[in-house]
Amino acid sequence: MLKYFLKQTSSKYNGMKQIYQYIHANGPVTKATLVEQTQMKQTTVTRHLETLLAEGFIQISQYQESSGGRPPALFEIEPNAGYIIGVDLSRIESTISLVNMSFEIVDSYTFAMTEKHTPSYTFQLIKERIEHFLEKHDISRDFLLGIGVGTVGPLDRENGLILDPEAFIASGWKSISILDELKSLQVEKVLLENGANAATLHAYIKGLTADQTILYCISGRGLRCGVLAEGHILKNKTGDASSFGEMIMDVNERRSLASFVSYDYLLQEVNERYLREKSIPFSVQDNENNQKELMDLFKHALSAEDSIVQQVVLESAVTYGIGIANMVNVLHPDQVILSSELMNTYPPYFNKIVDTAKQYIYRMEREPVQFKMEKQKKVTISTGAAILVFQSYFE
């Protein structure tokens, strides 16, 4: 089984794991390339390849054209040699994904987070869905490498604890042990990471070059940012990716960047302007338990070109853009990826953020920054969390 092979740490397996890891990251590749890149003897590489093929961990994808003699084989991983569960545990909606060894989504399930989604209720849903995935796709637990959870910080990664996150609609989200919540699944490896970091890793693995630095920002009920440089996530001790959002944007009022871009702020500001300009509230629903309904109404008004809603969103985009520029000026990323439901609903929001940021990035002409809008958020964090599990076998 792939899981037991990856768990081995003895010198007998280290070379074979190195071969497997290189094929996973760069395949399909030839034996000659593996010899060159790993600096192993050809006989050693041949022996490792024969074992990996016999165990079903890799496969021959095709043969290269040859000018004479036997054509060289191209080796790639076997996608179904193992599976990983990735979980995106967020404040608005959560996603559970079953991921194969190619980091492709085999199955996925998303549900809205409401006032009834306490920790016990939510993790029961997660466990039921994982069991459903395994049964539906006839996957033995021996083939499951682990579970990765990307969520809202602050976190205690080492002990698998969600400490004291803000803005979950339901109560009880404090000092939650994911190890305790998921132990009934009897999965050996369960890892916890901030969702923004998981999303950043996913973006890197799915198409960026090794020397790029990425800034990945997720806005919604708050603002979370992840940074990846030279293939490594920059982590703080608390696992709190919300710290970027604490950047002060209004000194007099001591207001942070997150306070200008959060859903709570947008809803409150729109409601106040409705009362001021139209003498009616934006909505009679004004408690946090129905924020999803409020945001649905907000996005509908945005799509319908409600002038007040558009004005508030674009003003928020200006502040967000200045905040992004400040981050870029400090971190010097090659790529900035922005993720928000509002951007998909109303593309001018993204455009305004980018246009504003470019005005305040001092190195823009000398070292251009690429901006990108994330359009696949539902599986981005869950897949990134699964990738973290895979990578942990090689640390």
For the cut 90, the answer to whether the pLDDT of residue 17 exceeds it is yes
Other beta carbons within 10 Å of 53 = 15
Domains 2-80 and 82-204+379-392 share a fold: no
Least confident piece of the model among 64-68, 143-147, 378-382: 64-68
pLDDT tens-digit readout, 320-377? 999 999 999 999 999 999 999 899 899 999 999 999 999 999 887 777 899 999 876 6
Strand ranges, E, within 292-352: 335-339
Share of the chain above pLDDT 70, in %: 94
2-80 has which CATH code?
1.10.10.10
The verdict on pTM exceeding 0.75 is: yes
Residue ranges of the domains in the chain? 2-80, 82-204+379-392, 208-374
Which ranges of 39-88 would DSSP assign to H, the alpha helix?
42-55
For the cut 90, the answer to whether the pLDDT of residue 292 exceeds it is no
For the cut 80, the answer to whether the pLDDT of residue 208 exceeds it is no
User: What's the rounded Cα separation, in Å, for the pair 9 and 1?
Assistant: 15
What's the pLDDT score for residue 67?
63
Q: Is the peptide bond before 28 cis (omega within 30 degrees of 0)?
A: yes
pLDDT tens-digit readout, 62-120? 887 766 667 889 999 999 999 999 999 998 899 999 999 999 999 999 999 988 999 99
Least confident piece of the model among 19-23, 172-176, 274-278, 283-287: 283-287
What's the pLDDT score for residue 209?
59
Burial of 338 (0-12, 13-18, 19+ CB in 10 A): buried
Instruction: Give 8-50 as a DSSP string.
Output: --SHHHHHHHHHHHHHHHH-SB-HHHHHHHH---HHHHHHHHH
Name the residue among 185, 101, 114 with its Cα closest to residue 149.
Answer: 185
Handedness of CA 78, 83, 89, 95 (dihedral sign): positive
For the cut 70, the answer to whether the pLDDT of residue 181 exceeds it is yes
Domain 82-204+379-392: CATH class, spelled out: alpha beta
Residue 235 or residue 126, greater confidence: 126
What's the pLDDT score for residue 289?
47
User: What's the rounded Cα separation, in Å, for the pair 370 and 382?
Assistant: 24
For the cut 80, the answer to whether the pLDDT of residue 177 exceeds it is yes
User: What's the rounded Cα separation, in Å, for the pair 231 and 214?
Assistant: 9
3-class SS of residue 298: helix
pLDDT tens-digit readout, 217-275? 999 888 999 999 877 888 777 667 788 999 999 999 999 999 999 999 999 999 999 99
Q: Among the CATH numbers 3.40.50.880, 3.40.50.300, 3.40.190.10, 3.30.420.40, which is that of 208-374?
A: 3.30.420.40
Average pLDDT taken over every residue of the chain: 91
Pairing of the two strands 223-229 and 232-233 = antiparallel
Which residues pair with residue 121 across a beta bridge?
A: none
Pairing of the two strands 335-339 and 213-219 = parallel
3-class SS of residue 275: helix
What's the pLDDT score for residue 38?
94
CA angle 360, 361, 363 (to 5 degrees): 140
